[in-house]
Copies of this chain bind each other. A is one copy, B any other.
Amino acid sequence: MGWGDLGVYGEPSRETPNLDRMAAEGMLFPNFYSANPLCSPSRAALLTGRLPIRNGFYTTNGHARNAYTPQEIVGGIPAEERLLPELLKGAGYASKIVGKWHLGHRPQFHPLKRGFDEWFGSPNCHFGPYDNRARPNIPVYRDWEMVGRYYEEFPINLKTGEANLTQVYVQVTDAWAGRARGGRPPGRQAGQCLPQEALDFVRRQHAARRPFFLYWAVDATHAPVYASRPFLGTSRRGRYGDAVREIDDSVGKILSLLRDLRIAEDTFVFFTSDNGAALISAPKQGGSNGPFLCGKQTTFEGGMREPAIVWWPGRVPAGQVSHQLGSVMDLFTTSLSLAGLAPPSDRVIDGLDLLPAMLWGQLTDRPVFYYRGNTLMAATLGQYKAHFWTWTNSWEEFRQGIDFCPGQNVSGVTTHTQEDHTELPLVFHLGRDPGERFPLSFASPEYLHALRGLTLAVRQHQETLVPGQPQLNVCNRAVMNWAPPGCEKLGKCLTPPESVPEKCSWPH
């Protein structure tokens, strides 16, 4: 989802009344960033509080190549990394992930081995349908075991865009309940209880008076974009808008439950996204990054500036805006702080505790580093952003119609060759020029002043940087989701092919 997809961030159709109300009752961060312009590195950063270059969610297979976590990937979140739910256990928290995990799908990376107590969702993106011969359909897990596969037990109609996954993610759906009445929901034995997703998890923790961490990682706005029938065709923005509306509706349901249970004042809620809206299918299924340049995959603002709202009635003042520059990695440190825990002291943590900003309006200077793979593409400090490299994608891909910046060419900026500006970075003033359209003149005193600060911040960062072992270098079709745990109970085990480790290829 993109910065510009929320009404409160200026989406002209203004179809997110629940998120807009969340902002009116909470605090908005207009300067909030993902740690990477792509799903899985960004999520790994959120759960570790560390840049992907440190936690291993990057590739060295090619210069400045983004890499994600498809089902042929061999790597995943390293055992040495300390994840937020693992640490929260120390303060007695129950943790659940609903939705996409994306930190590795092989058994050793299972989220329930990494601190989560419950899981409903999938390890990879909901791409497909596959033929279960060349590649298996992606499994959907409940806790330790698979309960079905996308396009099979969990249908997504690519033609109509219909899927009821967002409904399942938030609550017991009529569809599931109906099947349970008629016989049994997919993957459950008769007599077992009904599916219990976000709302039920919250209810159960509340009943048990247990502190909880719910990581609600929905994927409806990720291609292929889907929505359930009641939302399909209801948006002014097309199918992508339908998906946004359904997510917005779910947010409303979650906040309502917290109010109904009278735990709103004891529950810290944060809404954000893992990367900017993908524009590649614009306008048919493209989101909005507001006034910012380009989208997902790129290190322009449209790729990494994210919507961000904190909601904590009675604690975080209502209707406020914080100009604190924030990052998804801050959610790690802030959540630990809320639980009275300190972040690990034996490693570099990039996340900042945002509570001083949220509670007392305190502002802390800090840089943003924009990576693609192992390459530092850009950095922001204060209002200034320097691009050391520019690249959207290759001419070869671009000529095939793959465009991360459709209709947004800025000469010398949205380049299709990897252009090295490290000797003379392109510098933008993000306050006057949020769209990164007007590089400062190299000869101006302002350029020199801005570059001085940025150069210092980058030097400090690079001098202390110890890159993690790159997890996204090796692929192997044998490690795909052929026979996930639980497949035997469902009769859905498939036979893997011969093991052939290969260097993953990352086109952009």
Contact = CB atoms under 8 A, between A and B. Distances in A.
Interface of A: 4, 7-14, 17, 21, 24, 28, 30-31, 235-238, 240-241, 282-284, 286, 288, 290-292, 305, 319, 321, 323, 383, 406-410, 429-435, 437-438
Given A10-B290, A30-B14, A236 B431 contact: yes
A264 B39 CA distance: 48
Given A24-B319, A321-B7, A434 B291 contact: no
Nearest to A282: B438
Contacts of A291: 4, 10-12, 288, 290-291
A305 B12 CA distance: 10
Contacts of A31: 12
Contacts of A282: 433, 437-438
Given A283-B437, A291-B288, A383 B236 contact: yes
A283 B24 contact: no
B14 A10 contact: no
A416 to B, nearest CB: 16
- Taking the full assembly, how many copies of this chain does it contain? 2
Contacts of A292: 12
Contacts of A17: 321
A438 B12 contact: no
7 contacts: A17-B321, A237-B432, A238-B432, A241-B432, A282-B437, A288-B434, A406-B438
Contact of A283 (B11, B409, B438): B438
B407 A237 contact: no
A307 to B, nearest CB: 10
Contacts of A323: 13-14, 236
B9 A10 contact: yes
A235 B437 CA distance: 20
Contacts of A4: 10, 291
Contacts of A383: 236
Contact of A12 (B30, B288, B319, B409): B30
A433 B284 CA distance: 9
Nearest to A438: B283
A208 B171 CA distance: 60
A432 B31 CA distance: 25
Contacts of A30: 7, 12-14
A30 B15 CA distance: 11
The 9 closest A-B pairs by CB, nearest first: A10-B10, A407-B437, A236-B431, A283-B433, A283-B432, A283-B438, A238-B432, A14-B321, A9-B10
A431 B10 contact: no
Contacts of A435: 407
Contacts of A236: 323, 383, 431
Contacts of A9: 10
Given A235-B431, A286-B432, 16 more contacts: A4-B291, A8-B8, A9-B10, A10-B10, A10-B291, A12-B290, A12-B431, A14-B28, A17-B321, A24-B24, A237-B432, A238-B429, A238-B432, A240-B432, A241-B432, A288-B434
A503 B123 CA distance: 71
A408 to B, nearest CB: 8
Nearest to A284: B432
Nearest to A428: B283
Contacts of A288: 291, 434
Nearest to A236: B431
Contacts of A407: 410, 435, 437-438
B283 A429 contact: yes
Greatest chain B CB density within 10 A among A7, A13, A323, A432 is at: A432
B406 A437 contact: yes
Nearest to A241: B431
Contacts of A410: 407
